[in-house]
Amino acid sequence: MTDTIFGKIILGEIPSTKVYEDGDCLAFMDINPVAKGHVLLIPKAHFVWMQDVPDVLLSMLFIRAKRLMIAMKESLGCDYVQVSVVGKDVPHFHIHLIPRYMNDELHGWRTGTYEEGEVIEFAKKITTAL
C-alpha cells in the first residue's frame, strides 16, 4: 500500500487536508482540484480497481460519498456534486466528489458514435458476461 501516494497519505507519511475519516475510509481535499472544494474519498484498505473492492465496503463508501455530497452542497452552495470514478492516475480505488454549478465552465467527456449495428454487439458482449 505504501507504494502509492494514497497509501502514504493514509499512513500519515504525506500530509493531506482531511475532511472525513473513520476506520475504513478517508476523505481529503484534492491538491489539483477540478473545482474548488474537490474531495477524494478512498478506502484505507488497498484496492486498485472498483471491481476489486468487496461489496460491503463499496456500499459503505458510496453511503459516505452521499453524506459528503450533502455536506458539500450545504457548505459550498454548489448546485450539485459530480461523482467520478476513474482510478487510472493513482492505482488505489478512489471516488472524486466535485462541486458543480449550473453555469460553470466545466464540460463533460468527449463523446462518440457507434457504427451501424455496433451498439448491439457491445450490448450483447456485456449481457453475455453478466
Q: Which residue reads 473545482 in cell numbers?
A: 35
Cα–Cα distance between 127 and 130 in angstroms, integer?
Answer: 5
Catalytic residue among 38, 46, 92, 94: 94
Coil vs helix vs strand at 105: coil
Coil vs helix vs strand at 27: strand
Cα–Cα distance between 39 and 44 in angstroms, integer?
Answer: 15
CB 80 within 8 A of CB 100: yes
Cα–Cα distance between 26 and 3 in angstroms, integer?
Answer: 17
- Catalytic, 94? Answer yes
- Catalytic residues, by residue number, are 94
